Amino acid sequence: MEELKTILRHSLRIRCPRCGLGKIFFAYGELVETCSNCNLPIRVREPDTWFFMYMSTAAITGTFVLGMLLLGPPKNQWVASILIGGGALLLFVITTPLRKSIAIAWEYYTDKRSENPRFPG
């Protein structure tokens, strides 16, 4: 359990899940091939993160929809739609690197604990 906490702590800093020192992005949303510190393959893990990314996006969307339903219909629907839609889009964009980092860390953790790891490291 301590190992998982350490890996997730590294992911919250958007760093390599193994060493916690190397950056995992070289540009917004663009993963590095390997960690610059420990050479852990990072980019090859990206295809296995789609489920987490999809579910976290759905959770954000569900939160906005639930908020709209609880607040009831606004007097000026166009303004409310633009504000809510803009807020949701902004939240998606701002949280994408963090969500991707957590997904990479989770994939690393599960692959590492597997009997037949798919990736070295």
Assess contact for 104 and 31: CB atoms under 8 A: yes
Cα 62 to Cα 43: distance, rounded to the nearest angstrom: 29
**pLDDT for position 28:** 87
Q: Tell me which of 7 and 112 has the higher pLDDT.
A: 7
Cα 23 to Cα 31: distance, rounded to the nearest angstrom: 9
The 10 Å Cβ neighbour count of residue 11 is 24
**What residues contact residue 3 under an 8 Å CB cut-off, 6+ apart?**
109
Predicted confidence band at 121 (pLDDT cuts at 50, 70, 90)? low
Q: Give the CA angle between residues 17, 48, 25 to the nearest 5°.
A: 45
Taken in order 92, 97, 101, 103, the sign of the CA dihedral is: positive
Q: Where are the domains of the chain?
A: 2-105
- 39-67 pLDDT per residue, tens: 999 998 888 888 999 999 999 888 888 87
pTM reported for the whole predicted model? 0.83
Picking from 45, 5, 6, 4, the residue whose alpha carbon sits closest to that of residue 24 is 45
Highest mean pLDDT among 23-32, 71-80, 107-116: 23-32
